Structure 1
Amino acid sequence: MAPITVHNSLKPGAPVPFIPKEEGKISWYACGPTTYDLSHLGHARNYVSTDIIRRILIHHFGYKVNFVMNYTDVDDKIIIKARRKRLLELEKEKSYTPEQIRELVVKAFLAYADSNLPLLAGEDQTALDEKNYRERKDAAYGKVLAGGTLSGEGKPSDAEAKIKMHLNNMDSAAQSLQTGSGFEGAEEILLPYLDSLYKQTIDTSDQSMFTDLTQAMEKAFNDDMTALNVLPPDAVTRVTEYVPQIVSFVEKIVEKGFAYEANGSVYFDIAAFEKAGNTYAKLRPESKNDKALQEEGEGSLSKGLEGKKRSGDFALWKKSKPGEPYWPSPWGAGRPGWHIECSVMASDKLGEQMDIHSGGIDLAFPHHDNELAQSEAYFHQCGKGEHNWVNYFLHMGHLSIAGSKMSKSLKNFQTIQDALATTYTARNMRIVFLMGRWNDGVEISQDMRKQADSWENTLDNFFTNIKAKLAEADASTDGIKDLSLTEGAAKGLTEELEQAKKDLDAALRNSFDTAGAMQVILRLVRDANIYMADKSAAPNLQAVEAVARWVTKIVGIFGLDATAKPPYDGLGWGSASAASNVDPQTAIKPYAAAYSKVKEDVQSLNVSEASIQTLLEQQAPETEFAELEKSGERDVEKLALPYLRATSRLRDELRAIVSTLEPQTKQAVLALSDRIRDYDLTDIGVQLDDQVDKPSLIKFVPAAKLIAAREEKAALLAEKARQKEEARKAREQAEEEKWAKAKVPPQELFKSDPKYQEWDVDGMPTKLADGTELPKSQAKKLKKDWDRQKKLHDEYLVKFGGNKA
């Protein structure tokens, strides 16, 4: 069997064989979120893709995975956001007059522009204010606002996204100043201004301002992951719970000569590390001297810290300045550097070497490169060569919008909460990510969404149809557990199933190529649909069921069914109806009520046909349901079938006898038949498909989907009726205009035209208005018009009579 291969950022290029340290087991550390704001679709891309790979390793390849993830709950972004939030709260508590508030907002407005949008200053020396802001904004940043770049060349990037973010903040503040709204609308420009004034006055001995924020955001993140059906980690770590261990870890690196203290901070000594035979920036050697990335990695609060030997050296421990949280250390009050946290926590949980480390691609440098360096420095032993802390580094491609990565700091994101409420379902979002490679970037586009929707609808319809066919044939949906070839099954389809299993396994062994796997599934389902639609012979439902169960297993492994549990041997998308604690009596109430109503309405028709009377008297869905309940059945779809079959039989029989009924009764029966299908059953998530010479096919479809289809159909019919009515009115108007014109005798056709001065006895013009003779060419044309009018007028006389006024 071919080995599993994986794209390993430590060895760029083609996928390499994946060989864990211990057979059958995998140790894995994933960088978790920085808990300072709500998670967005970029986070969903990272954590859902990570979850998919983890599920494949566990449930397809059979590995036991120890998955550890951290929460960064102390960080420059957390400190800044929590501190600024507190400063704004304090400012709002002050007894300011409206004029004083305006003065404060104006100062913040100007400071924000000076710091982030320098081109707003203009060239005319006139001070910027809310009145001239719009004009200056368009003049200075019009290219960016129109979708271009600041330089006018190339494609927009993060720099342009950041400009748009700052302009949005200024827009709100300018509006606030114009309307006199006080603090409202100006918060984003006030926050950095207040921080610049008062940050050193904040008492950080009480860290609740920070923990209140991080705990709320951690809960929100966990709720998002649950909503996205992401498996919880096997172990979770938090930076604030590891500070003593971090201090000890840093001390050891210092002792080994790979770090140094400077003014209360401790920095990693890259030169000393490399001199000892180690490699720095293994993941991104080309970024080793990128000062912008280095500064981003150090954090905005590190500005002003002094004592580095070289600019590339990075902080392991930061001296805390006033307004920042702090912990004791041998170097004084301080806090952990960003990168050191993961080194300490991952090593604590997984030891000196792990199989997999993962995170978003934007973390590769400096975060992950610095993690590797400081961890390998910690475990370094003289004379034993380089230490490999991570064997496989998996970097998830980021999500982008219009060329810019989705980012909290750029504020160009849609939160997961909002996306699930307005745009995606959890399943649909996961399908979008499955349709691309995990290590490639994803650009949100309409085509991408359409492909995902089409894939989901194809499988949804397939599952619905096969379940309906099996129910129709009273087939047991628990009958096939062995997904191999079955004796007597349709040979072609089962061979396609066996090939699909091989193709899917090959795709997943090729660096978890879910895009290829999704195509394998789609191809097999389409083959099964073609087989079921073949009218030349009755399909072998056992063969189709085998396909459906295998597809169910794979979509379960991919996490596309939030209710499914390993070993995923059900049939179709899971639903809440399959819950083991469902109360049968409560669950079937809508179906029983629908049957009761239909039965009552059929009785009220007073149809005397024996077949209808027999059904009304002999059908006993209550008894069938009671037997199912007694047997322990808890699948609501199965429990509901007795009532739905009884309802469908009544409707089918009414449709069968309708041609023999009196016109009035016939009309009532047809109306009731449509109502049962389009309203009574649609509203409870049941679709009836009429079949020739066979009972209607009962399908379970989400009610919202059926109702939406019904409303769309009604809207189309209404639009068709509107267009028909408009066409009728247009025809009537054209007819009126035609006969109004036809009413004029040809002799009078040109008499009222001021272009002419004289006419002959037939009303044909002979002279123009200036007295000149009518040109022959014009006379010819006018004669044709005269002849057409005579013909039309003669029609008028025939239609309305010669005396028509």
Structure 2
Amino acid sequence: MSHCRSLYKLIIRNMSSTAESVNTKVVQPKWNAPEPKQSKPVLKLYNTLTRTKVPFVPLSGTKTVSWYSCGPTVYDASHMGHARNYVSIDINRRIMSEYFGYDIKFVQNVTDIDDKIIIRARQNFLFDNFTKDVANIDESIVSKVTDATMAYIVKNLNDQLPSIDEFDKWAASLNVEDEKMKNPKFPMHTTAVSNAISALKENRSDVTKFFNLSKDVLVPVLDKELGATVNDPEVFRKLPASWENDYNNDMAQLNVLPPSVTTRVSEYVPEIVEFVQRIIDNGYGYATDDGSVYFDTVSFDSSDKHSYAKCQPWNKGQLDLIEDGEGSLSTNTKEKKSKNDFALWKASKPGEPEWESPWGKGRPGWHIECSVMASDVLGSQIDIHSGGIDLAFPHHDNELAQSEACFDNEQWINYFLHTGHLHIEGQKMSKSLKNFITIKEALNNYSARQLRLVFASAQWNNQLDFKESLVNEVKSLETSFNNFFQNVRALQSDNSHKQEGMSHNISKKLTSLETKLLQDLQSTQEKVDIAFCDNLATAQAIKALSDLVTITNSYISSVGNDLKIEPVLDICKYITKILSIIGFQARPDNLGWVNASGSDKSAGSLEEVAMPYVKVLSTFRDNVRSMAIEKAALSEFLKLTDSVRDNDLLKLNISLDDRNGQSALVKFLTEEEKQEIVKFNEEKEAREEAKRLKKLEQQKLKEQKEQEKKEKAKVSPLEMFKNNDLYSAWDDNGMPTKDKDGNDVTKSMTKKLKKQWDQQKKLHEEFFGSAN
């Protein structure tokens, strides 16, 4: 197979500093064709294999594209990390298919054999068996849970307490933040212990609650005692089957397209055995005495054709990552030739599912499953492989190595697309950090549309920090699009009514304003094209659409009765089209997206549909007629029209926007849109009521002060100093001349008293006239 070398050399030069920083070979992906020489932008994708953006050229040389996506390990509820990955991949897939026109065969697996699944399924089975026939909590159960709690403390909190009664005192003596630095799961473990103690001390009478609270500390003990006895394959199928269905429901809620083909590990064991045997035959795998098979990374890496750890060569030798990739049940590593070697086939131990193989009973290693399933459907070379960045090493690097070893080719995957990490308010999502959010929990607080807008607002391969400020920005953007779509539909309806009601046609000739508007549309189309070509940059594309909304709104506001509807409709349909490509469902008329809930009202008979609206009109007429007979003031008529707008019609999901010099703009609202207006009106009324009450309070305060001032003014200046015993003599004006002891009032004091006298005289005369 021939490959393009010129682009390869260019990328190597650009990456020389990166390549030199790691002691490994860096093998770049190959292309079937050189980079197109044209001024128009071409699609470039950020490829983990090159660590740069490179032109996308399918292996087929046509529009046909093969794509494999790492799917979920189904043993628990899907969370926001899954949502970020799968929605982002869905957006990329949609753009490449619906915008660039690629015919994509999209394969995604379901991992239903895995160490986590085995442990969780086995523990659930043992726990259910232990608790199912318990009618009351006796002393033997209390003793077992007490011992389990103490064992849990020793194992997970590294401490030995004399009894569980000492736990609260012990926990209170610790600095939680310091403990979290040493053990990030410290809060999770202390919660498990606290729950178990609560069960033992306060909830023995409630069997269900007792076991729910003590489950976390109890299941490790049950598993240690009885785990080796569990070998029924159905035990290990039940858990993943349930969670696979749950995952599919979550993806449907998020409007993620289903795969073209879904593969399950449990259905591919014979193919996995054959694949592993081919790797051994090619000299890159070896069996051990216990019946396991390992991949020989040294032999593979020393080959002239191959290189190990292409995605993240700097992580070679990172034991923590390697051991995590091998799984918690992989304990026999002494027979590995190199610490980098990884399991292709694991000899099964008691308490694990098992299948026959040339090396003995066992089960597939984690990494081998994707290589086998992807290659079975898509072949020995694949265009795109996607997944979360946390899978790049060792999972994807091991996939690459074992697949290229099996087929003895240089390049199994041409483009690795890794989605960035998801953080919650600046921190990596974790149950121990109390910021773990399942997809269902997220959908209780946000709509699927809002979540998709959040994910589309960040570059798919960058880290995304899911925080309240970002959600608020997205909600504001959503409202902006919603209002625009409503306005355009209302303007179209208004224009149609004008056409029907006039004896002559409304001019359609474009002015300079419409010409400029169409130029802005073309400019936006170019910006969106550049954004999509530049690594599927949805954030830039949506920004361009938002700017176009602002420009169009300005046109609508400024043009008044001379509005030309056709350019506005073109813009609305284009914005709807791009948003639809990104995965937001469009209305049938392509004038905006469907409402967030997807709810709709079925049509009834003419009388059923029309009666509420006719009733509003009839009531309005009755009120106008009655007010006219009584010769009501004009302001009362205006209040009546506002009440029809803000109450009667709004209840029927109709909004009227008043326009200066034009008829009101009629909008039909969804329930969500109506509730937003109702909330806005209620908040407005609350502000106006608060303003009225404040004004009333100020008026009362003013009147109170006025009354106090009047009471004070009642005293004549001639008498004001005679009403106390501080003085014994006064002049004709009532000014003190001697103090109570008969001494003359000092000049300085007389000056001060005179100032007070003048003020009182002025106040008294203000209310009662001259003091004389």
What are the equivalent positions in structure 2 for 1:137-148 lying under 5 Å apart? 137-143=171-177
The counterpart of 1:597, out of the listed 603, 606, 615, is: 615
Identity of aligned residues (%): 39
| AA partner of residue 682 (structure 1) | L
Spell out, residue by residue over 1:659-690, the C-alpha distance to the aligned partner (whole angstroms, 9 max, x if none). Answer: x6635597875565334322332233221112
Q: Does 76-85 or 280-289 show the bigger shift?
A: 76-85
Deviation at 1:513, TM superposition (A): 1.0
Match of 2:473 in 1: 451
Which whole-Å CA distance do the structure 1 matches of 2:93 and 2:683 have between them? 40
CA distance in 2, matches of 1:271, 1:326: 29
1:103 to 128, 139, 143: 143
- Counterpart check, 1:585 vs 2:607: no
Shift of residue 349, structure 1, vs aligned partner:
0.6
Matched, 1:712 2:738: no
**In the alignment, which residue of structure 1 is the partner of 2:427?**
404
Check conservation: 1:229, 1:562, Cα contact below 8 A. no
Asked if 1:8 corresponds to 2:47, the answer is yes
- In the TM superposition, 1:303-702 aligns within 5 A as 303-304=331-332, 306-380=334-408, 386-407=409-430, 412-422=435-445, 424-474=446-496, 488=510, 490-535=514-559, 538-561=562-585, 570-575=590-595, 584-585=603-604, 591-602=609-620, 604-605=622-623, 607=625, 662-663=630-631, 672-702=640-670
* Inter-CA distance 601–252: structure 2 relative to 1 (3 Å threshold): same
In structure 2, how many angstroms separate the alpha carbons of the residues matched to 1:774 and 1:324?
A: 112
Whether 2:110 is the aligned partner of 1:82: answer no
1:408 shift after superposition: 6.6
> What's the CA shift for 1:258?
1.4
Asked if the contact 2:385–2:413 (Cα under 8 Å) also holds between the matched residues in 1, the reply is yes
Secondary structure of the corresponding residue to residue 68 of structure 1: strand
Aligned twin of 1:480: none
AA in 1 matched with 2:612: A
Distance, in Å, in 1 between the alignment partners of 2:109 and 2:562 is 56
CA–CA distance in structure 2, aligned partners of residues 728 and 196 of structure 1: 78
String of CA shifts for 1:758-800, please: whole Å, max 9, x gaps: 76557999999xx9x99999x86x9858955984698479759
The alpha carbon displacement at 1:144 in A equals 5.2
Distance in 2 separating the partners of 1:666 and 1:536: 27
**1:678 partner letter:** D
Pair 1:17 & 2:55 matched: yes
2:299 aligns with 272
CA displacement, residues 127-164 of structure 1 (integer Å, 9 cap, x when unaligned): 3635542x53354343258xxx627xxxxxxx63x333
Residue 732 of structure 1: CA displacement? 5.6
Match of 1:83, as an amino acid? R
697-706 vs 344-353, which deviates more? 697-706
- SS of the aligned residue for 2:415 comes to strand
Identify if the C-alpha distance between structure 1 residues 748 and 17 changes in structure 2 by more than 3 Å, giving closer, same or farther. Answer: farther
CA drift of 1:464 comes to: 1.0
Size of the aligned set, in residue pairs, is 702
CA distance in 2, matches of 1:408, 1:253: 39
**Within-5 A mapping of 1:34-73:** 34-73=73-112
1:399–1:585 Cα change, 3 Å: same
Pick closer, same or farther for the CA change 1:319–1:789 going to 2, 3 Å: farther
Matches of 1:436 and 1:685 in 2, distance apart? 34
- The offset of 1:716, in angstroms, is 2.7
Query: 2:396 is matched by which residue type in structure 1?
Result: H
CA–CA distance in 2 between the matches of 1:337 and 1:740? 95
SS at match of 1:355: strand
1:154 is matched with which residue? none
What displacement does 1:303 show?
A: 2.8
**1:684 is aligned with what amino acid?**
L
Post-superposition Cα deviations, 1:33-63, rounded to whole Å, max 9, x if no partner, equal: 1111111111111011101111111111111
Return 279-288 or 726-735, whichever deviates more.
726-735
Q: Per the alignment, in what secondary structure is the counterpart of residue 376 of structure 1?
A: helix
- TM-score w.r.t. length of structure 2: 0.82
Cα deviation 1:93-119 (Å, max 9, x = unaligned): 36564544443333233322322223x
The alignment partner of 2:309 has SS state of coil
CA drift at 1:344: 0.6
Q: Is the 8 A contact 2:586 2:592 kept in 1?
A: no
- For the Cα contact (< 8 Å) 1:268–1:313, is it kept in 2? yes
Q: Which moved more, 1:136-145 or 1:455-464?
A: 136-145
**Residue 572 of structure 1 aligns to which amino acid in structure 2?**
G
8 Å Cα contact 1:504-1:520 kept in structure 2: yes
CA contact (8 A) 1:143 1:150 kept: yes
State how far apart, in whole Å, the 2-side matches of 1:426 and 1:577 are: 9
C-alpha distance in 2, partners of 1:214/1:774?
Answer: 105
Question: Alpha-carbon deviations, 1:412-449, whole Å to 9, x = none?
Answer: 32111111112x11111111111110000101123312
SS in 1 for 2:66: strand
2:74·2:244 contact (CA, 8 Å) conserved in 1?
yes
SS of alignment partner, residue 473 of structure 1: helix
Change (3 A) 1:720 1:97: same
Secondary structure at the residue paired with 1:394?
Answer: strand
Name whichever of 171-180 and 265-274 sits farther off: 171-180
Counterpart AA for 1:39: S
Q: Partner residue of 1:240?
A: 266
**What secondary structure does 1:236 align onto?**
strand
Question: Partner amino acid for 1:24?
Answer: K
Q: 1:271 to 1:700 in 2, by over 3 A?
A: same
1:324 deviation in Å?
A: 1.6
Question: What letter corresponds to residue 545 of structure 1 in structure 2?
Answer: L
- In 2, the alpha carbon distance for the partners of 1:800 and 1:219 equals 89
Asked if structure 2 preserves the Cα contact closer than 8 Å seen for 1:38 and 1:221, the reply is: yes
Contact 2:576 2:586 in 1 (8 A): no
Answer whether contact 2:728 2:739 (CA < 8 A) is retained.
no
State the secondary structure of the residue aligned to 1:358: strand
Letter in 2 for 1:504: V
What amino acid sits opposite 1:715 in the alignment? A
In 1, Cα distance between equivalents of 2:404 and 2:624: 87
One-letter amino acid matched to 1:150? M
Name the counterpart of 1:754: none
Q: For the Cα contact (< 8 Å) 1:685–1:706, is it kept in 2?
A: no
- Contact persistence 2:231–2:352 (CA under 8 A): yes
- Partner deviation per Cα, 1:713-768 (whole Å, 9 max, x = no partner): 333334334444544555566567667777898548987xxxxxx76557999999
Query: Which secondary structure state, in structure 2, belongs to the residue aligned with residue 491 of structure 1?
Result: helix
Q: Take 1:167 and 1:743, find their aligned partners in 2: how far apart are those partners?
A: 75
For the residue of structure 1 that corresponds to 2:311, the secondary structure is coil
- Kindly indicate whether the alpha-carbon contact (under 8 Å) linking 2:285 and 2:294 is maintained by their aligned counterparts in 1: yes
- 1:527–1:692 Cα change, 3 Å: closer
Contact 2:81-2:421 within 8 A present in 1 as well? yes
Contact map agreement 2:448 2:596 (CA 8 A) in 1: no
Q: Distance in 1 between matches of 2:100 and 2:220?
A: 51
Q: Distance in 1 between matches of 2:640 and 2:657?
A: 16
Over 3 Å counting, the alpha-carbon distance change for 1:338 and 1:738 in structure 2 is farther
1:311 is paired with a residue of what secondary structure? coil
Q: Report matched runs for 1:788-799 at 5 Å.
A: 788=756, 791=759, 795=763
Whether the 8 Å contact between 1:427 and 1:561 is mirrored in structure 2 is no
State the SS of the aligned residue for 1:339. Answer: helix
